[in-house]
């Protein structure tokens, strides 16, 4: 007679998109499997027509839900990523969906509870995440905001004077980054929305549409979120050769991989 207490139904699913990042994908999923071994959390992975070792690896994992997507020739990377996420969104039946990148590595599973608590405390919270992709520390963050603030208003001044110049970019980021963001998938479906709705980064227009409908987003400061995980900024692009030789993002990627290998 089985006396084990059934596990409660999962409240969230995890969504990842793989494209030619075998080493990072393996590490990302091994950490997830370690933390989710005793939890009924569906893990969905879309392979965007990698046709390499990463595809073979994913096929060997019985505990994930794998979707093999044929990516149309010439399709931009962020569009392919967004369409892959929408394929997962269509298939899940959980109220929440945690978007992750394959260059995100969770070391402390308390991050799941942190994000769920922030998202479930108010039904009008559309998403929980971070607007920064790195924990730059107080000094670097202050310098970054200060320089972007000055650049923004300098370009606005040039516009006001009728002097040709670059279009001012917002100095303060408002959109959550999808390397680790928990979304209210039930609300998204109720409003007939998706992650990929235009040429913007997937999730940006969705966030704008949800907030315009009366929802809010909860931001987790980078210094808090990165106590639980690590993220290689643009690691997926660097891993599949998206940057030229000697590019600073390649150097960042190499340093991060070395740091990760020492920590795991």
Domain spanning 12-132+174-231, CATH architecture: Alpha-Beta Complex (3.90)
What span, in angstroms and rounded, lies between the C-alpha atoms of 178 and 7? 28
Q: How many CB atoms lie within 10 A of CB 182?
A: 28
Rounded to two decimals, the pTM is 0.80
Rounded distance, CA 146 to CA 85, Å?
Answer: 34
Q: What is the pLDDT of residue 2?
A: 41
List, for residues 164-192, the tens digit of each pLDDT value. 877 767 656 889 999 999 999 999 999 99
129 bridge partner residues? 219
**What are the domain boundaries of the chain?**
12-132+174-231, 137-172, 236-264
What's the pLDDT at 214?
A: 97
113-147 tens-digit pLDDT: 999 999 999 999 999 999 997 776 666 656 565 77
- Average pLDDT for the chain: 84
**CB proximity list for 73: less than 8 A, separation 6 or greater:** none
| CB-based contact 219:131 (threshold 8 Å) | yes
* Rounded-to-integer distance, Cα 39 and Cα 33, Å: 10
In 3D, which of 95, 70, 91 has the Cα closest to residue 19? 70
Maximum mean pLDDT: which of 29-38, 133-142, 170-179, 211-220 = 211-220
Q: Between 3 and 35, whose confidence is greater?
A: 35
């Amino acid at each position: 007679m089985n006396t084990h207490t059934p596990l409660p139904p999962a409240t969230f699913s995890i969504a990842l998109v793989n494209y030619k990042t075998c080493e990072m994908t393996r590490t990302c999923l091994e950490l997830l499997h370690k933390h989710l071994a005793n939890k009924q959390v569906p893990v969905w992975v879309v392979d965007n027509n990698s046709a390499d070792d990463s595809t073979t690896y994913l096929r060997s994992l019985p505990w994930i839900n794998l979707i093999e997507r044929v990516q149309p020739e010439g399709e931009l990377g962020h569009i392919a990523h967004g369409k892959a996420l929408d394929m997962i969104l269509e298939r899940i039946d959980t109220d929440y969906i945690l978007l992750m990148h394959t260059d995100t590595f969770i070391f402390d599973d308390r991050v799941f509870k942190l994000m769920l608590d922030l998202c479930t405390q108010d039904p009008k919270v559309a998403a929980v995440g971070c607007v920064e992709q790195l924990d730059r520390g107080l000094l670097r963050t202050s310098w970054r905001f200060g320089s972007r603030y000055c650049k923004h208003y300098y370009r606005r001044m040039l516009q006001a004077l009728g002097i040709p110049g670059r279009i001012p970019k917002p100095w303060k980021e408002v959109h959550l980054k999808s390397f680790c963001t928990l979304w209210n998938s039930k609300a998204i479906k109720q409003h007939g929305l998706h992650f990929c709705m235009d040429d913007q980064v997937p999730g940006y227009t969705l966030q704008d549409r949800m907030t315009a409908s009366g929802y809010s987003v909860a931001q987790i400061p980078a210094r808090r979120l990165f106590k639980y995980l690590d993220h290689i900024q643009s690691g997926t692009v660097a891993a599949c050769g998206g940057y030229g030789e000697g590019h600073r993002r390649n150097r960042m990627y190499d340093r991060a991989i070395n740091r990760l290998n020492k920590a795991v």
